[in-house]
Chain A
Amino acid sequence: MTTLPASTDKKLGLVIDLDICVGCHACVISCKEWNTSNYGAPLSDMDAYGENPVGTFLNRVHTFEVKSAGCNAQTVHFPKSCLHCEDAPCVTVCPTGASYKRSEDGIVLVNESDCIGCGLCAWACPYGAREMDAAEGVMKKCTLCVDRIYNENIPEIDREPSCVRTCPAKARHFGDFADPDSNVSVMTRERGGMELMPELMTKPVNRYLPPRPKADISGEIDILAPLLTPVPENKGGFMGWLDKALEAI
């Protein structure tokens, strides 16, 4: 059924801390590794060892630069995957019912055996969170590792999405946004967790914590700088002689 549930018991999702992400892409790799061998069709690569490799990924890390007048430019690494929107437009456009949002936990999934690969859901998603697999012709997207988080065959510590489990900087957190006291709800409240493109009214569940304000180091920047000024060329005196002598060797 591709109409959306009126509400979901839980709202499982991620908090991504843009202040902490170091842009190592470990989550991209661990996501691909877990999801290519578990839920649904593998995440194929085309021309993987050739000149123009293209592949399916459920999570990708962009890197942005932010500049404002009078401040130093900041680099922000920005992991992006499905935000498991409450008003997911990708679900309602699906003609087959392959795309659906679970009423128990809010996870948005694709039932691949129903998917005809029309691509309409990817058109409807503002965030580029869905990619059509070139080998299977079905739509792939983040499952929030639905096959890990409830999986009693793996150690309890591993029952969270692969990206969260692997992040060496602990920039990713998994939890239930419906519970106001959960880790993710508290972080979102305290750090002003942001929705992406709120103007499109998709009500994303995942939140992004903005980078904290950077310390003003504009006064300090010159302490070492004078010592590092380059020695002028064509100098005379001892330094000039030394320079020439060394050059001649």
Chain B
Amino acid sequence: MHPAPSVILFTSLSGLGFGLLFFLGLDMPAVSGWTAFAFFFVAYALAVGGLLASTFHLGNPQRAVKAFKQWRSSWLSREGVFAVLALLVMGLYAAALIFLDMRLPLVGMIGSALSVITVICTAMIYAQMKTIPRWSQPMTPVLYLLYMFAGGALMAAQIHLATVLLAILTVAQILHWLIGDKAFAKAGSTIGTATGLGILGQVRLLESPHSSTNYLLQEFAFEVGRKHALKLRVIATLCVGLLPVLMLLMTPAGHLVSLVALVLHMIGLFSARWLFFAEAEHVVGLYYDKHRG
């Protein structure tokens, strides 16, 4: 899949934003007044910024409100609905906390739950795609949730929780890669099933239907070199979890340590998210003989 910067930014930033909102809604950390304002400002900037970034890749963004209509069947639509609900409920909670110095625990809990559901919906947009076997695995929503919780805990200064979550996240990320590497073969689609000609023998593309590129190739036939991908996986593994965990364990807690750990985590997150798209192979590539076993 073409790793569009707008989608990478959207999923990464909004995940972090909703992660922070999740913890704020549970009163972790217990903040009020201007500190609360600062925390909520960061969370909203990330969540809303991410959502806005996602509209950059739309062909007709002026009609974006229509996307709230089909929540009965579409995960993308559900994501939109829950994101707005989460932001509204958390807005109420934040306003009471900041301006009235009043904590509404139930509202906070509902907001936290809505934030989790929003991220599940985001993940399901990808996990539902049978056409992209690497994404179509139960680990995809697990991974998105762990990114949300670990990143959120790190930003919410929940150092112990963050350390544990980052470690689990690292393992989950590696698992997602390993399962994903085998997913295409396991799904069973080949150039033979795509053309139906597999029953007659070995199939290969003799002539492409068009001499230059097209939308399908631009969108779906992105190829990353194996070496390149491996390097990025190493960088992602180190930055997403390993280095931040080591830092949090070995240095005395403090704002600076948390900030450096967060920056490292975000570098890891962006590389992992880039790979999530770039390494994802769509079955339509079979019609162009793009799949190399």
Residues of B175-219 whose CB lies within 8 A of A: 187-189, 191, 193-197, 199-210, 212-216, 218-219
> Is B283 located at the chain interface by the 8 A CB criterion?
yes
Tell me, rounded to whole Å, the shortest Cβ–Cβ distance linking A107 to chain B: 19
> Is B160 located at the chain interface by the 8 A CB criterion?
no
- List chain A residues, Cβ under 8 A from B207: 62-63
Contact check: which of A18, A75, A96, A115 meets B206 at CB < 8 Å? A75
> Is A126 located at the chain interface by the 8 A CB criterion?
yes
Q: Is the CB of B196 within 8 A of A89?
A: no
Contact check: which of B76, B193, B206 meets A120 at CB < 8 Å? B76
- List chain B residues, Cβ under 8 A from A198: 193
- List chain B residues, Cβ under 8 A from A56: 215
Q: Is the CB of A199 within 8 A of B193?
A: yes
Tell me, rounded to whole Å, the shortest Cβ–Cβ distance linking B121 to chain A: 11
Q: Chain A 66-105 against B: per-residue CB contact (8 Å), 1 yes, 0 no?
A: 1111010011101010000000010111111110000000
Name 23 interchain pairs, CB-CB below 8 A, sorted by A: A3-B73, A53-B212, A57-B214, A62-B209, A66-B200, A67-B202, A75-B206, A80-B209, A93-B76, A95-B74, A96-B66, A96-B70, A98-B66, A116-B58, A116-B60, A116-B66, A117-B60, A124-B129, A126-B131, A126-B189, A132-B219, A194-B196, A208-B196
- List chain B residues, Cβ under 8 A from A67: 201-202, 204
> Is B88 located at the chain interface by the 8 A CB criterion?
no
Contact check: which of B60, B80, B283 meets A95 at CB < 8 Å? B80
Chain A interface extent, by class:
35 or more
Q: Is the CB of A54 within 8 A of B212?
A: yes
Q: Is the CB of B67 within 8 A of A95?
A: yes
> Is B72 located at the chain interface by the 8 A CB criterion?
yes
- List chain B residues, Cβ under 8 A from A57: 210, 214
Residue of A nearest to B192 (CB): A66
> Is B273 located at the chain interface by the 8 A CB criterion?
no
Q: Chain A 108-134 against B: per-residue CB contact (8 Å), 1 yes, 0 no?
A: 000000111111101111111001111
Contact check: which of A3, A52, A68 meets B213 at CB < 8 Å? A52
- If A114-B66, A126-B194 are given as contacts, then 10 extra A-B residue pairs at C-beta distance below 8 Å, sorted by A number, are A60-B209, A61-B209, A62-B287, A64-B195, A66-B200, A80-B209, A95-B69, A115-B59, A123-B129, A123-B219
> Is A42 located at the chain interface by the 8 A CB criterion?
no
A92 to B63 alpha-carbon distance, docked (Å): 19
Q: Is the CB of A210 within 8 A of B201?
A: no
Count residues of chain B with CB under 8 A from any CB of chain A.
60
Q: Is the CB of B203 within 8 A of A120?
A: no
Q: Is the CB of A118 within 8 A of B76?
A: yes
> Is B77 located at the chain interface by the 8 A CB criterion?
yes
Residues of B13-67 whose CB lies within 8 A of A: 57-61, 63-64, 66-67
Q: Is the CB of B59 within 8 A of A96?
A: no
Q: Is the CB of B197 within 8 A of A123?
A: no
Residue of A nearest to B284 (CB): A128
> Is B147 located at the chain interface by the 8 A CB criterion?
no
- List chain B residues, Cβ under 8 A from A127: 194, 284, 287
- List chain A residues, Cβ under 8 A from B58: 116-118, 137
